[in-house]
Amino acid sequence: MDIPDWAVWAALGLSVLQGLSVATVVRRLRRADPEARTRARLDLLDTVGGLALFAGVMLTLLVADHWFWLTLVGAALIAAAYTVKGVLLLRARRTAQTGTPQGPSTR
């Protein structure tokens, strides 16, 4: 499949923007608040997964089919990040509803 040159340049520009977003997430990792660092780690996992997914698709289409594994790695990273974000959101909601922290008992 022949991809037009303008689409390749647009994809390259989008990947550069995705790469720049890694720098902002890394900056958030240096904060003192542990909760902010946890969210930043998950955002970094999501961003790196998106970059790997995008790079895998572009390399598969432009270079060779054997780069498809990078797409699967990116999808797995994104899925892991969203799974952990969802679990944290559910735990926070349950804690807010019951008023007690959810964790192991200290008996």
Q: How many residues does the chain have?
A: 107
Give the C-alpha separation, 93 to 65, whole Å.
43
Asked whether the CA dihedral 59, 65, 68, 69 is positive or negative, the reply is negative
Say what the pLDDT of residue 57 is: 86
Say what the pLDDT of residue 101 is: 64
Say what the pLDDT of residue 19 is: 86
- Ordered per-residue pLDDT tens for the chain, 107 residues: 677 778 778 888 888 888 888 888 999 989 888 888 889 999 999 999 999 998 998 888 888 888 899 999 999 999 999 999 999 999 988 888 887 666 665 54
Q: Is 12 within 8 Å of 51 (Cβ atoms)?
A: no
Q: Residue type for 50, please?
A: G
Q: What is the pTM of this model?
A: 0.79
Beta strands in 1-107 (DSSP E): none
Say what the pLDDT of residue 58 is: 86
In the three-class reduction of DSSP (H, G, I as helix; E, B as strand; rest coil), residue 104 is classed as: coil
Give the C-alpha separation, 54 to 7, whole Å.
13
Give the C-alpha separation, 56 to 65, whole Å.
9
